[in-house]
Amino acid sequence: MLNFTHCVPTRFVFGRGVENEVGKYLKEVGATKALIHFGGGSAVRSGLIGRVERSLDEAGIAYVELGGAQPNPRDTLVYKGIELARAEKVDFILAVGGGSVIDSSKAIAHGTCYDGDFWDFFCGKAKPVTTLPFGAVLTMSAAGSESSNSCVITQESTKTKRGLRSELNRCRLAFMDPELPMTLPPYQIACGATDILAHMMERYFTSTDGVDLIDRMAEGAMTAVIAAARTAVKKPDDYDAQAQLMWASTVAHNDTVGVGRVQDWGSHQIEHELSALYDVAHGAGLAVVFPAWMRYHMDKDVMRFAQFAVRVYNCEMDFQHPEVTALRGIEAHEQFLRDIGMPLTLKELGARTEDIPALAAKTKKTNPDGTTGGTFHMTPQDIEAILRIADR
Ligand code: NZQ
Ligand code: ZN
């Protein structure tokens, strides 16, 4: 196991009706005026925004609203949010929504405290050193942004989607009511579960030895997510299934199942190019990329892929031919994705074969040698080959 530090300063308020307690907790952290940020309208239609605002009224906290954050959130609205936050002198940003709204809120919080262009943080020109406090009322279980150290924004003019990792990205407060995602269409529930699993798998496929504790925790968590996802897409009003997914969203992406090891993140970098260019749901893009990534890299660490197959998907171990077991695991994962209604091919996403070289070339290079991915270092040629596997 590698050395690590792990600090998740988020206070989680979890369970039925916790959105009615937002005011009390914001007051505790000293908020006096909040910017309530939300998406395309689901939180207004469900009455959630009204409940949150009532709770703020009761606590004597003033607020202004900014709606309109889109899936794959855009820089253009972040600029508007920064302007509004400054003009209104807010001292807390409250996201009410999924990962897109939360990420847009994080970018607004950082940008409000920065004299330059907030995009500097996303193109690597500057690092945020301070931010406004922010929190989230989570409405879907997926990105894990409610306690992750990450934030992902798309620059609209160039269709460039980039992530920022910083400890300043951690929410102060996360309100997590498993009843809220019950209004999601099954497709979005499935996208969310796919993203949660992908966050565990990016960490699971490691080159670090001696990490059995976290391996076992991740395997148990993945098994529970797979079962809960199967239930929730059929019965979105199943409270316990939604509760498992909601806490899994957090656990998957705040490093509870990732400390002390090399992590990969290559599939995420490739997927960000797909959702930037075609505006597809992040989870759907991952359903296409991740199995192709697994097929491409399997031979480089066949025992780890076989371990995944045996412990997560209950495949039988073939000690003579571990590659057969490894492949069974990938097939089982693909079958699960199919069962919950996810796409598996670029065509199903609406992606074009002729775009593959450009997608591969544009994928963010995460290593000093110009390659992408922590466990398996990929050149643009490797990425192109993975996309061609997905181009079925
Ligand atoms: O905009 P509204 O009307 O609210 O509709 C949203 C949106 O259309 C809808 N929705 C959310 N909660 C709902 C609901 N509809 C009905 N009932 C509810 N309770 O769902 C749609 C998708 O929402 P979005 O926020 O885009 O989904 P998600 O949470 O999957 O976030 C995706 C974004 O997060 C990024 C992704 O790249 C993508 O941009 N990620 C952020 C990460 C992070 N910050 O740590 C990590 C991830 O790997 C990911 O990259
Ligand atoms: Zn993700």
| Whether the CB of 170 sits within 6 Å of ligand 1 | no
| Whether the CB of 202 sits within 6 Å of ligand 1 | no
CA dihedral 170, 172, 176, 182 (to 10 degrees): -60
CA 218 to chain centre: 16
Per-residue DSSP letter, 70: P
- Residue 53, pLDDT score: 98
- Residue 249, pLDDT score: 98
| Whether the CB of 50 sits within 6 Å of ligand 1 | no
Give mean pLDDT, residues 275-279.
96
Residue 126 CA to residue 129 CA, distance in Å, equals 9
Per-residue DSSP letter, 123: T
Task: Indicate the domain borders of the chain.
Answer: 11-180, 185-390
Query: CA distances (Å), 78 to each of 81, 97, 140, 261, 302, in order?
Result: 5, 15, 21, 34, 44
The amino acid that residue 213 corresponds to is L
- Residue 171, pLDDT score: 98
Residue of 100, 151, 256 to mutate, ligand 1, most atoms within 8 A of C-beta: 100
SS3 call for 154: strand
| Whether the CB of 148 sits within 6 Å of ligand 1 | yes
Per-residue DSSP letter, 118: G
| Whether the CB of 135 sits within 6 Å of ligand 1 | no
Residue 89 CA to residue 337 CA, distance in Å, equals 45
| Whether the CB of 285 sits within 6 Å of ligand 1 | no
Contact 139, 180 (CB under 8 A): yes
CA 344 to chain centre: 19
| Whether the CB of 99 sits within 6 Å of ligand 1 | yes
Is the confidence at residue 204, as pLDDT, over 90? yes
**Structure-token pair, residue 152:** 């992902």
Mean pLDDT of all residues in the chain?
Answer: 98
SS3 call for 68: coil
Residues 344-388 pLDDT 10s:
999 999 999 999 999 999 999 999 999 999 999 999 999 999 999
Residue of 66, 75, 188 to mutate, ligand 1, most atoms within 8 A of C-beta: 188
Residues 99-155 pLDDT 10s:
999 999 999 999 999 999 999 999 999 999 999 999 999 999 999 999 999 999 999
Give mean pLDDT, residues 297-321.
98
Closest CA to 111 of 164, 71, 174, 172: 164
Strands 160-165 and 173-176: unpaired
Residue 359, class by beta-carbon neighbours within 10 Å (0-12 exposed, 13-18 middle, 19+ buried)? buried
Q: How far is the CA of 298 from the centre of ligand 1 (A)?
A: 30
Q: Which CATH architecture has domain 185-390?
A: Up-down Bundle (1.20)
- E strand or H helix that includes residue 96: strand 92-97
Residue of 103, 203, 271 to mutate, ligand 1, most atoms within 8 A of C-beta: 103
Contact 10, 171 (CB under 8 A): yes
SS3 call for 293: helix
Strands 160-165 and 150-155: antiparallel
Q: How far is the CA of 239 from the centre of ligand 2 (A)?
A: 23
10 contacts: CB under 8 Å, gap ≥ 6? 146, 147, 170, 171, 172, 173, 174, 254
CA dihedral 293, 299, 300, 305 (to 10 degrees): 70
Nearest ligand by distance to the CA of 255 = 1
- Residue 392, pLDDT score: 85
Angle formed by the axes of helices 266-278 and 186-204, nearest 10°: 150
CA 52 to chain centre: 24
| Whether the CB of 178 sits within 6 Å of ligand 1 | no
What is the reported pTM? 0.98
Whose CA is closest to atom 36 on ligand 1? 282
- E strand or H helix that includes residue 164: strand 160-165
Instruction: Give the burial string for 148-164 (b: 16+ CB within 10 Å, else e).
Output: bbbbbbbbeeeebbbbb
Nearest ligand by distance to the CA of 253 = 1
Q: How far is the CA of 389 from the centre of ligand 2 (A)?
A: 21
Give mean pLDDT, residues 326-345.
98
Residues 80-109 pLDDT 10s:
999 999 999 999 999 999 999 999 999 999
Nearest ligand by distance to the CA of 137 = 1
Is the confidence at residue 211, as pLDDT, over 90? yes
Alpha helices in the chain (DSSP H): 22-28, 42-45, 48-59, 75-87, 99-112, 186-204, 212-234, 239-253, 266-278, 282-297, 302-313, 322-339, 346-349, 356-362, 380-390
| Whether the CB of 374 sits within 6 Å of ligand 1 | no
Residue 140 CA to residue 26 CA, distance in Å, equals 21
Instruction: Answer whether CATH 3.40.50.1970 is correct for domain 11-180.
Output: yes
Closest approach atom of ligand 1 to CA 48 = 19
| Whether the CB of 139 sits within 6 Å of ligand 1 | yes
Give mean pLDDT, residues 218-235.
98
Q: How far is the CA of 140 from the centre of ligand 2 (A)?
A: 13
CA dihedral 111, 114, 116, 122 (to 10 degrees): -50
Closest CA to 375 of 306, 294, 321: 294
Whose CA is closest to atom 41 on ligand 1? 143
336 contacts: CB under 8 Å, gap ≥ 6? 226, 229, 230, 313
